[in-house]
Structure 1
Amino acid sequence: MRRSFLLTTLLFLCCCFAAWAQDKKAVTGTVKDEKGTPLPGVTVKEKGTANGAMSGADGTFKVQVASDATLVLSYIGFMNQEVPVNGQTTLSIVLKEDNKNLNEVVVTAMGMKREQRKLGYAVTELKGADVAKTNSINPVSALQGKVAGLDISAAAGGPAAAPRIVLRGAKSLNGKDQPIFIVDGVIFENDESAADVNFGNVLKNLNPDDYESVTVLKGAAATALYGSRAINGAILITTKKGNARKGIGVTVSQTAQIEKVYRGAIDLQNGYGQGIDGSYDNTAGGYSFGPKMDGRMVQLPNGTSVPFTPKPNNAKDLYQTGKYFNTNVAMEGGNDKGTFRLSYSHLDNNSVSPNNSFGRNTFAFRGSSQISRVLSADAGVTYATSKTLNPDRQGGDYTNYNIGRKWVYVFPRNYDPSIWSKPENYLGPNGGRANLSTNPGADYFYQQAYNSWTRKESLITGNFALTAVATNWLKFIGKANFSSEQSTDERKEVGTSDFFKGSDAFYSIAGVNKSQYTFTGMAIITPKLGKKFDGSLNLGGETWNSGIGRQYNNYSDGGLRIPFLYDISNSINAPIVKNDPLLRKRINSLFFAASLAYNNELFLDVTGRNDWSSALTYPKGSNGKTTNSYFYPSVSAAWEFTQTLKEEMPSWISYGKLRASYAMVGGDLDPYQINVGYYTPSLFQGSATGKNLPLVNIYNTDILPNMALKPSISKSWELGANVRFFNNRLGFDFAWYRTNITNQIINLPTPIESGVTSRYINAGSMINRGIELSINGTPIQHKNFTWDVTLNGSRNKNKIISLAPGVDQLQLNEDQGVKAIASVGGSYGNLITDYGYTRDANGKPIISLGGSDFPYKFVRGGAVVGNIMPDFNLGLQNSFTYKNWNLGVLIQARIGGDFFSASHQYGTGRGTTANTMYGRDSEHGGITFTDGSGVTRNDGMIPDAVFQKGTTISKDGQNIALDGMTYQQAYEKGYVSPLTPFQYYGMVGDWGIGIREASVFDASYVALREVSLGYSLPTDLVQRWRLNSLRVSLVGRNLGYLFNNLPDHINPEAVRNNKTSAFSEYGAVPFVRNMGLTVQVGF
């Protein structure tokens, strides 16, 4: 294969020198729209060559061409136009607007630009400005609700956290089913985060203001040329180029935003405070089943007396107003020989969570050069550094950092953070942390004051493309790109014992270096096939190499000798020093793409790619059967029937196209996963001095290798239609797809008796079926006022056809006793739990005798309690334009999909959540009764349940069978008393005996996702100030929920991590809205 690539490269280099001489002359011109407004950034090219220029800010251009040349002009939103020079030296050109962009050129696989009307598969392209205007740290979040079939959910961790992205449903049983991101040819992955901490993906280090366009390739036919890495779809990001113009243009923008918590993650009750069964008890921890908070004086655990009053905003008081500032400066210029664009961005964000911040500096350069008549070059480089401090953490080893969990499980409702957050109340008398029995929030305030987790990242990417036009039907393109990522994590934790010492004092420093590079060579052939036929053939080869270089994780053991001295050498015991081996992976590829068009109405595309993956290669001497080569083709067709039947078409049908495609894509796995005893992440261990570093844990004996592992296979079918009516004022785009994923590579758990914990196998067959619909229209179109509206929606249904032989169920995720699974005959993400209700034949929960605290308890049993995948995803965009004003409104909805709330579960058991107000008193539905002590109460509750068979109680010396009797019936007969709220809610939500099913809900919501208002000052006005442009924009994001189906206003998007199988929250992040102002000035 290496020889093939060398030959391809040699052929390319030879053709780069091919050129011929021809007389050229300078041609200048002006490009305007039909209203006479100059158009900047119009691409002007000499037909059949790479020679060209771009129009400047005033619409003018200058290009050196032959006297008999033909100029081809293209601009987004306008129809392409060919203009013969015919010896002229000055041209005035008017471009016609392309209604609804029917001839829009979009970026497709391998960076190829195609007319969208000729594509046989679904593609959605957004302008970079539509992404950048939201000023999201992670630009992926800005796509939410704007693309049919793309499901995006925020993840815990703060503004920089990587969101969860699902494109056309879950596709993988091994957890790797996120689409890839391709930025000017450089591929990045949306890394999944664990439940504990989410530092975000590499995209947070890039500057959205540098984006020219964002293209979503959904189906396998659209992504097949990218190979196995794009098996789950691809999102292409193309950055801005410089424009040819007079002088140098400078654009400066400044954004200021505030982030405000407007509601806690779950509603809490403010009626009853600390205690159990109606009595105040300051040793009751987080239980809030005490008396009504009526202002009486009570004693706190530290001996202080305070009024017993509710603190309605105590869950919000610990958050701050977040601040976001982003400064962008870009300069550009050029002429017919070349262009450049240089930009710098500085971002500074302090989150609503104390001590949670993110900062970024990004430099980017993009340049192009017309080296000669036949040779042109394009290059870009980006360098970014960032620092993330203390992202929000949930669960795992970091429950003490999770303030949301403390509000539902640890803090009683009368807990006052204004008292307990003072240093004298969270510090011990000799330093260190105060006693948690006195201040249950001492650990949180202590770590906020002294502990930190910082990640510093640096990223450098580069891309270079050289195009040689050999003839008017043949050109060669050579591309090279690379990226290098470095990250360093540093954790500092002070001891909690006296004098800030203790074995829990901790320091660690860890780092990883990642790099990748790609070389691609292509020959593009565009022969003349006659008057009615048009076609092209692309032939190419590619090699992609990735590596994880130095990996290390060094940390203290047994505490720190000297408090606040954070260095590995300060470890009490010998520090742990780990260095991981170099991980490398290579994929070599050959590919082709052939296109054929007939009469500008029938279009056919055929592609094929063969990958050779090193991850599926067995070492010499092993008995492995190497199957590292896999070929996958695609075919797509489009028929523009309104062109064929234009004489028969009624006038109200403006445009119509039908399309169909089929594709097959292969997939592999991470390196060193299939060989016997592959290297693991812990190679060296010993002291920090570098001495005595024995080799340890070189071989992984826990995983049984598979010596005949094959690539996974995904086969996809797609049908679609794009039809527009009434002079393009109304239209729709519809897609139906079916994807069958087989031969999946999964790590299957094995019985412990086998001597290994798991084994890699090819198994599983899963089918996704779905529809996507996008409807757009222009209800009002006037000279000064336009209203555009777009509605997009999608639905995906999944079915598991098979797993491994003898395996009917595979666990995908688990939290608090609830599991997301894949089961044969079921759907991806069915939720099951052993903490469900056991029901009788009529569906009523069954109850039995309990213990002293909980005299009765629900009988637990296994149950399927839901499915995590949504039924529908919807987005509604409205855009109103009046003269120089523009108003945009985005509403996004997720219908269906079940969600487990641990906050609701344990908040119910502790009596802190708003749902536990029911039954507290007569006003809230409580029953008046006399308890066993002769006290009359008004907080009785009757469970809607039936007694288990065999349940008997002793009443007046007699044993009474309650078999099949409802609790209500037993109460009416005087056999049982009502339960108190402490008893009832305890048996529903207690950690040990609670019913998880009671906290699984349909997480449907409708959100006001985005509102933007912009105003561009008139050109004649800004020119008086010697400016080219001035625009002011107001943007609000995540403004609120128009509908939230979850009880107690639980945050429906606060999943603990960004895995596709994520379904739960525990101490979720609060509701935060962003509002800001952007001022952009052009010079």
Structure 2
Amino acid sequence: MDNIMKCTPLGEQKSLWLRKTLLIMKFFVLFLLLGTIPCWAGVAYSQNVKMSLDMENTTVHDVINAIEKKGEFYFTYNLNQINVNRKVSIKVENKTINQILDQLFSKSGIDYKIENRHIVLYKQAASEVEAVKQQKSINGIVADEQGEPIIGASVLEKGTTNGTITDLDGRFTLSIGKGTELIVSYVGYTTKTVKIGNQSTIKIVLIEDTKTLDEVVVIGYGTQKKSDVSGSVTSISGDKLSKIPTANAEMALQGMAPGLSVNFGSGAAGSSATLQVRGVTSWKDDDGENSESNGPLVIIDGVPGNMSYLNPEDIKSISVLKDAATAAIYGSRSAAGVILIETHRGTMNSAPKITFSGYWGLSAVPKRLEVCNSAEFIKVRKMALINAGTDESRWPKYISEYERDPSQFADTDWQKEYYQRGFTQKYNIGYTAGSANSNVSLSAFYSKTDGVTIATGDEKFGFRLNSDVTRGKFKMGESVSYSRWSADLESNSGFSSIYQVTNMEPLAFLYDENNDGGYGGAISGMGMSDAGNQVAFNKLIDNTSSNDYIAASGYLQYEPIKGLIVKFNASRNMYFGKSRLFKPTYEIGAAKRNTMASLSESRSQTTNDLLELTANYDKTIAEKHNLSLLLGLSQEENKYEDLSASGSDFENNSMSLMGHAKSNYSVGGTKTRSALRSLFGRVNYNYMMRYMIMASFRYDGSSRFAKGNKWGFFPSVSLGWNIANEPFWENLKETVSMFKFRLSYGALGNQNIGLYRYIPTLSYNNHALNYPFDGRETSMGYAITAFPSSDIKWETTVYKNIGVDISLWNNKLELSAEAYIKNTSDMLSSRNISLATGYNSSILVNDGKLRTTGFEMQAIYHGKAGGLKYDLDLNLSHYKSVLKSMANPDYLYEYGALRTYVGGEIGEFWVYQTAGIFQNQAEVDEWNTAHGYKDQNGNWQPLQPVAKPGDIRFIDQNGDGMLDTNDRVKVGSGTPKVSLGFNINLAYKDFDLVANFYGDFGAKRYNYTKYQLERMDHVFNYGKNALNAWTPENPDTDIPRAVSGDPNKNSRTSTRFVENGDYLRLNNLQIGYNLPVKYCKKMGLSNLRIYVGATRLFTITNYKGYDPSTGSSVGQMGYDYAAIPLSRDFMMGLKFGF
């Protein structure tokens, strides 16, 4: 079948892929060179820069300041040795720094040393002998407790500005006075003071200080010390995420933060995860789903963005704002929580550094369902027909033909043909550098992943540029990023791909060269089903998407007085979407034919513009009162437009452009616009880190509401009390270093109600609304067809949160627990209106109410045992969402076995309850005698009149003698009672291990795939369970008899298909080796780490479906509707820098 191939619009041809890769590399090199210009100069800056000075009768201090401003140098010196108030005059023209300093300090007894842009001044002695008496040189090494050198540690002579930093081997050399002390410090370690005696060499060991780890957390429009936070915030470091190999940042978050749910609808190519903070926030009654209102606001570097397009390697930190106190500053967009993301930026005074990371791996589905082969399928099918009493003359022809000659048929394992072992790869390269007043960070990435199903996959690439420049009291910077996400998607003929694969008879051949397209299917004249060849659909149909995301923002910051920062920020985010679906002519067996090719294409563009002006003022009064004030203005505008077209009847399958279509043309498009204007502010105060209060507000005006309802006010307040900082706690502080209570209350808004709901909208109709004018040809007419909901207003969520944070044994053990209630009111719901209005419809009113309650706990332990260091992080979450009211008190939303109704939990399973299998006719008769009703004629109507031995017994819950939907009972919910995350980080010498576990407990799953494979009212393939169907010889089974047509409706929605959804999964396992620095240095590297790992290595569960974690959207939680399972990946990778 060499002639069978699929179109490759993503550029899988080698030459196209190579050209695209080279183009990306060229752009990256260009940006790399441009970004290097302001920072690389630090290496030889002092030799190349020249400046001019003309200063009369001034001080040395003023000359030093002039040099620092002109040349980006910075000085350190000992005020006890250097007289900077000495009067001097200097006039130089176009001289190097060495020439200037030689002239400035000529005959003054002052000497200098230059390291890059750092100039150290020191006093010369009268003679070399005297210098030896007064000064000495100390050589040392700074290491951690395992003996590993610490690079970049600060070594400072106490009481002076004389200092240096350690090199790549942790070594330093410093000239100091006799009998002095050295202060040695490094981020994440306890600062150490060392007295220097007569020794000339020294080894200094720093001890890790957990007290300073993650000390600062990001909050809205600023940062705050973790110990000062009185609201609910969870921080996740980018280092943790970087050890989870994925091109999708959302997927890396599962189990990382209590209260943050990461749900996967499918493992198909082009799919992304959905995020949810603390359960359901809003409910939309027209379709039971409101993902826009239940997804958190994502802020990337201060600008609303899309996490799906973010490279995980670019993330520095993530903060999850979970209550009103922390999220209210974002007002109407924050009711469902806020996720703040900081990306990596360069640091000032840092040498250029290049990093590279990459991984390669193989992926596959972890399990396949057990379905019948050809012989087993024939056996079950015959059994079903015999039990139904079907005359053999009416049996499908394939049964007799198979028994006569099985070689006429195939024995195709459709899952084996459909699922594939995919290859995944990802590469990241980054560059950072910084001078005295500027920094730059540049990164690029590329990833390509084969889907777990045939002929699918996705590809991502992009770059990010961040930079900052400081000039005196001004600071400015920008963030620019571009990402593209392209995918070859699943294709089908209208049915779920999984159902096509599992239900397709194994009798059918995969290929048939006589068919148009070359693929097989149902054999003509054999009476086979119309299930399709999913492999053929994926191979032949061109179903692709590509999305480009461009984000650009810049800021200008001014500090007029100490502590006051005024900042202006402007940004634009643009999304360009493109999709294409081309169905060629094909013949896939007798049942699936497409005689006319068709094409559908769409283009869309979304533009988000944001302007913000903020003023921050921070002040510490009398070293006790810490005050922070914020005031800001914001304006946001969102535009969207799309254009779609379709056509059919192409000359041939190669001519698949829209212009080649001959008939059935259709063109459509939309254009929308919305805006938001806001005033916001916050006051943050703490007294000696004991008592904290934070109050914030946001006043939002939205174009989505009518005049009079456009503006909403959303305030919040939080209180904190750290008992451990009270004087009476002093004796306990070595054991309990923090004991903080938190309490918060506030209101959050939701404007995600759709557009133009409050104004009349016009619709057209080609028939009913057309009008003739002056006897001429009719013209298309428009009319108002929906009654406007002019009084709708903001949905409001009121939050109450109480929490406690405890730190023990110098923060070795960190504990936190909190409980919350969030009440959403004024939710939109539908109310019927009188037909007298002229509209046969309903209007939206703010009558809905929803209540979500929950609690969270987290325990983090930092430990050591010999040479082993370990961090253990356990978090637990629980929530329950109940619909309290709707405009219609009898409101009911149903999705299969799921129900949502007033007074009930969102997404409950309501099914018929089974009571075993009838073993004989006597049991059937006894049951029907005891259960039934008398009709109006007085005749007895049994409950299950057509039941036979082997059928399922169903319970009549309300006792009315009939089986109907009123007999369904609640058997649980798809929402887990408890979600668990457990993260392990181990380090022993040069080895490290990372393990991330996640689990859900207390949830139910409706196994719809099992329903499809065990039902008897169709003619498709069966699961192997059908071989264990009840027969008189096989009575000890829970599988009912096989009977064609299923007269007793054994496959009705019942407890038979509801399963325990508990599971615990090892999401990520990674074992790494870090090459010692001394060997890295020989290779010209600063670090090198290699690792092997696996994702979703195992799942402990009793669930019989593909994956207990799929099918997890709001309102459909736990409904496994044939979703493609998540893959299991094995990979290896490396990361190095130089």
Structure 2 length-normalised TM: 0.73
CA displacement, residues 215-245 of structure 1 (integer Å, 9 cap, x when unaligned): 2112222111112112101112111012346
Asked whether the equivalents of residues 262 and 273 of structure 2 are also in contact (C-alpha less than 8 Å), the reply is: yes
Match of residue 711 from structure 2: 629
Three-state SS of the structure 2 residue aligned to 1:306 is helix
Matching residue within 1052, 1065, 1071 for 2:1120:
1065
Residue 718 of structure 1, aligned match among 795, 801, 815: 801
Q: Is 1:351 the equivalent of 2:351? A: no
1:710-769 C-alpha deviation (Å, 9 max, x unpaired): 111111011111112233332311111111110112456779998434421101222111
Q: For 1:444-455, list aligned pairs within 5 A.
A: 444-455=534-545
- Residue of structure 2 in register with 1:646 after alignment: 729
Say if 2:666 is the partner of 1:584.
no
Partner of 1:152 in structure 2?
262
Paired with 2:522 and 2:409, the residues of 1 have a C-alpha distance of 26
After alignment, is 979-988 or 1013-1022 more displaced? 979-988
Q: CA offsets, 1:934-983, max 9 Å, x none?
A: xxxx3568999xxxxxxxxxxxxxxxxxxxxxxxxxxxxxxxxxx74336
Corresponding residue for residue 880 of structure 1: 986
Q: Provide Cα deviations, 1:759-816, integer angstroms capped at 9, x if missing partner.
A: 21101222111110001224x4145211221111011122332222x423242x62xx
1:152–1:33 CA distance, 2 compared to 1 (3 A): same
Match of 2:905 among 817, 822, 827: 827
1:87 alignment partner in structure 2: none
CA distance in structure 1 between the partners assigned to 2:166 and 2:844 by the alignment? 57
| Match of residue 1082 from structure 1 | 1137
2:858 equivalent in structure 1? 774
SS at match of 1:646: helix
Q: Report the Cα distance in structure 1 between the residues aligned to 2:532 and 2:677, rounded to whole angstroms.
A: 56
Partners of 2:661 and 2:948 in 1: how far apart?
Answer: 48
Q: Deviations over 1:292-321 (max 9, x none)?
A: xxxx998459x963399987x652342111
Deviation of 1:388 after TM superposition, in Å, equals 0.9
Separation in structure 1 between the aligned mates of residue 1114 and residue 191 of structure 2, nearest angstrom: 43
Structure 1 unmatched runs, 5+: 1-19, 45-52, 62-71, 83-91, 189-201, 290-295, 619-625, 684-692, 921-925, 928-937, 945-978
Structure-2 residue corresponding to 1:893: 999
**Alignment-derived partner of residue 228 in structure 1:** 332
State how far apart, in whole Å, the 2-side matches of 1:482 and 1:457 are: 17
Residue matched to 2:883: 800
Instruction: After TM superposition, give the deviation of residue 544 of structure 1 in Å.
Output: 1.1
Aligned partners of 2:946 and 2:1047 also within 8 Å: no
Which one has the largest radius of gyration? 2
Please say if residues 345 and 363 of structure 1, whose CA atoms lie closer than 8 Å, have aligned partners that are also in contact.
yes
Q: Structure 2: how far apart are the matches of 1:941 and 1:34?
A: 66
Report SS of the residue matched to 1:870.
coil
Q: Partner letter of residue 240 of structure 1? A: H
CA offset digits 1:679-720 (Å, max 9, x no partner)? 68999xxxxxxxxx9997976624x32221111111101111
- CA gap of 1:262–1:329, structure 2 versus 1, over 3 A, is same
Match of residue 597, structure 1, among 686, 704, 722: 686
- Native 8 Å contact 1:214 1:238 kept in 2: yes
Q: Distance in 2 between matches of 1:838 and 1:315?
A: 34
Corresponding residue of 2:238: 128
Alignment-derived partner of residue 656 in structure 2: 566
Contact residue 427 and residue 446 of structure 1 kept, 8 A: no
- The CA deviation at 1:826 is 1.7
The alpha-carbon distance between structure 1 residues 501 and 842, as it changes in their structure 2 partners (threshold 3 A), is: closer
Q: Quote how far apart the aligned CAs of 1:568 are.
A: 2.5
Work out the percentage of aligned pairs sharing the same amino acid: 19
> Counterpart amino acid of 1:568?
M
Alignment partner of 1:788: what SS? strand
1:473/1:127 CA distance change after superposition, 3 Å = closer
In structure 2, relative to structure 1, the CA distance for the partners of 1:501 and 1:565 (3 Å cut) is farther
Q: Secondary structure at the match of 1:224?
A: helix
Corresponding residue SS for 1:466:
strand
Distance 1:1025 1:648, change over 3 A: closer
Q: Which moved more, 1:176-185 or 1:269-278?
A: 269-278
Report the counterpart of residue 1057 of structure 2 in structure 1: 999
What RMSD over aligned residues (CA atoms) do the two structures have, in Å?
Answer: 4.4
SS in structure 2 of the partner of residue 274 of structure 1: helix
CA distance in 2, matches of 1:841, 1:899: 31
Residue 725 of structure 2 aligns to a residue in which SS? helix
**TM-score after normalising by structure 1:** 0.77
Residue 809 of structure 1 corresponds to 891
What is the alpha-carbon distance in structure 2 between the residues aligned to residue 241 and residue 42 of structure 1?
A: 20
CA shift at 1:855, angstroms? 8.7
How far did residue 1009 of structure 1 move?
Answer: 1.5
Contact in 2 for aligned 1:137/1:159 (Cα 8 Å): no
Aligned residues: 923
SS in 2 for 1:998: helix
Structure 1 position 383 matched with structure 2 position 487: no
Map 1:358-369 → 2, pairs under 5 A: 358-369=458-469
Match of residue 504, structure 2, among 391, 396, 411: 411
Alignment partner for residue 625 of structure 2, among 533, 536, 541? 533
Match of 2:1011 among 905, 911, 914: 905
Structure-2 change in CA distance of 1:236 and 1:748 (3 Å): farther
Deviation at 1:376, TM superposition (A): 1.1
Q: Secondary structure at the match of 1:1078?
A: strand
Q: Is 1:297–1:305's contact at 8 Å kept on the other side of the alignment?
A: no
Q: Which amino acid aligns with 1:118?
A: D
Call closer, same or farther: CA 1:520–1:439 in 2, change over 3 Å: same
Q: Which residue of 2 aligns with 1:306?
A: 407
- 1-structure distance, mates of 2:843, 2:645: 30
Q: CA offsets per residue over residues 157-177 of structure 1, 9 Å max, x none?
A: 525412232211111112121
Q: Is the 8 A contact 2:380 2:1027 kept in 1?
A: no
Shift of 1:57: 7.3
CA offset digits 1:25-56 (Å, max 9, x no partner): 42449997766977678999xxxxxxxx9999
Whole-angstrom CA distance in 2 between matches of 1:145 and 1:385: 27
- TM-superposed CA distance for 1:629, in Å, is 0.7
- Measure the CA separation in 1 of the matches of 2:522 and 2:784: 40
Quote the offset at 1:560 in angstroms: 3.4
**Structure 1 residue 77: Cα displacement:** 3.7
- Which of 519, 542, 554 is the equivalent residue of 2:611? 519
Partner residue in 2 for 1:243: 347
**Alpha-carbon separation, structure 1, partners of 2:643 and 2:784:** 18
Deviates more, 1:249-258 or 1:315-324: 315-324
2:1102 corresponds, among 1027, 1031, 1045, to: 1045
What residue number does 2:177 align with? none
Instruction: Check the 8 A contact 2:491/2:538 in 1, yes or no.
Output: no
- In the alignment, the residues of structure 1 paired with residue 191 and residue 399 of structure 2 have an alpha-carbon distance, to the nearest angstrom, of 79
CA 1:575–1:337: 2 relative to 1, 3 Å? same
> What are the Cα deviations for residues 990-1047 of structure 1, in whole angstroms up to 9, with x where unaligned?
4xxx2344312331111121111111100001101111111112221111212x132x
Q: How does 1:668-679 map to 2 (within 5 A)?
A: 668-670=751-753, 672-678=755-761
Match of 1:709 in 2: 792
In structure 1, the partner of 2:130 is none
- Report Cα offsets for 1:576-628 as digits up to 9, x if no partner: 011212x111111111111111122211111111001111135xxxxxxx211
**Residues 841 and 274 from structure 1, CA distance in 2 versus in 1: closer, same or farther, beyond 3 angstroms?**
closer
Specify the alignment match of 1:965 in structure 2.
none
Instruction: Name the residue aligned to 1:461.
Output: 551
Q: For residues 169 and 445 of structure 2, what CA distance do their matches in structure 1 show?
A: 26
Aligned match of 2:703:
614
In structure 1, distance between residues paired with 2:559 and 2:452: 55
Judge conservation of contact 2:510–2:519 (CA < 8 Å) in 1. Answer: no
User: What letter is aligned with 1:637?
Assistant: L
Match of residue 1017 from structure 1:
1075
